[in-house]
Amino acid sequence: MSDALRALTGTAAGHDLALVLALLAAVLHAVFGALQKGHHDPWLARAAIDASYGVMAAPFALFIVPWPEPWMWPIFAGAFVIHSGYKYLQAMTYARGAYTVVYPVVRGTGPLVTVIAAGWVFGEHFSPGQWGGVGLLLAGIFGLAGWNLVHVRLARDTLVAALGLALVTGVFVALYTTYDAYGIRATHDPFTFLAWFFMIDGVFMPVVTRHLWRRLPSSELVPLMRRGVLGAVVAWFSFGSIMLATRIDTVGQAAVLRETSTVFAALIGWLVLGEKVGRAQLALMALIAAGAVVVEMAG
């Protein structure tokens, strides 16, 4: 499979596959965010997810995929630091703000910074039409966040802090997207990067939250671990999809297409978490989708 992916890099078929992978990542990332923001404490939910995907990754990393090349170890160390910062900030954000308010801010900040960073790191450049699509997408995302900011009445006392944290978290989204794209391109086998990344990345949050586990009622342990296993599976396919998309196609375009996750997040917030979605929100979600279509068609 690794050879097939390398053969697709830079081809029209590879571009089409990257499009499908980026959109799949968008759907799954919205599901992942809802799992972390749902019934349980977001710190514990993320710790359960991370522990689960770390355990799942271990046999693949140790016994199935090729071992990393020597130069990959510093890259993994950098990824661990960046993702640890991202997860810490994200948990703080979710603990302070309503999901439909903070999620669009996080995801709206990420693609703009990623597109700029991809130009510096990988020499990628968007056409004027694609920048117009990015503008539409960001207008929809931040418009959705603004509408929710005015109308959502949940956690109003901590909302300003939540929005500030959401902006910083979005910068970390761009940072890890660009850095991980560099990392997965640095190794011969992309599945080596994915397996070792998940095994290493699964350590931080369980350690940070160890004091919270002691306070968890025993009746909540099984439901939380069930959520963790489900979230781990979603994370594998979500993160794996976007990383493979950046391996075989452009980083900036994949990052922009992934942020249609905001549409799916709003639908999940409405259908699953009971957060209302009105006509204005639907129109803004259509604007996000239109922006993603323009980015793809103008590329």
Which amino acid makes up residue 246?
T
Asked if 106 and 166 count as a contact pair (C-beta separation under 8 A), the reply is yes
pTM score over 0.85: no
- State pLDDT tens for residues 141-195: 788 777 777 776 655 677 778 888 888 998 898 899 899 999 999 999 999 999 9
- State pLDDT tens for residues 35-78: 766 566 778 888 899 999 999 999 999 999 999 999 999 999 99
- State pLDDT tens for residues 93-105: 877 877 767 777 8
First to last CA, the chain: 27
Residue 219, judged by CB atoms within 10 A of its CB (0-12, 13-18, 19+), counts as exposed
Asked if 238 and 175 count as a contact pair (C-beta separation under 8 A), the reply is no
pLDDT at 105: 80
Rounded distance between C-alpha atoms, residue 219 and residue 16, angstroms:
46
What tokens does 201 get? Answer: 């990345």
When pLDDT is averaged across residues 268-277 and rounded to a whole number, the result is 70
Alpha carbon 138 to its chain centroid, in Å, reads 16
Listed in sequence order, the residues at least 6 apart from 263 whose beta carbon sits closer than 8 Å to its beta carbon are: 26, 30, 285, 288, 289
Name the one residue in this structure whose structure tokens are 């990344």: 197
- State pLDDT tens for residues 97-126: 777 677 778 877 777 788 888 888 888 888
- State pLDDT tens for residues 239-265: 889 888 888 888 888 878 887 777 777
Domain count, the chain: 1
Query: What would the DSSP string read from start to end of 177-243?
Result: HHHHHHHHHHSS-HHHHHHHHHHHHTSHHHHHTHHHHTTS-HHHHHHHHHHHHHHHHHHHHHHHHHH
pLDDT at 273: 67
pLDDT at 2: 67
Query: What would the DSSP string read from start to end of 138-187?
Result: HHHHHHHHHHHHHH--TTGGGHHHHHHHHHHHHHHHHHHHHHHHHHHHHS
Answer whether residue 138 shows pLDDT above 90.
no
Least confident residue range of 85-94, 251-260, 264-273: 264-273
Mean pLDDT of all residues belonging to the chain? 84
pLDDT at 53: 95
Answer whether residue 197 shows pLDDT above 90.
yes
Full domain range(s) for residue 148: 2-297
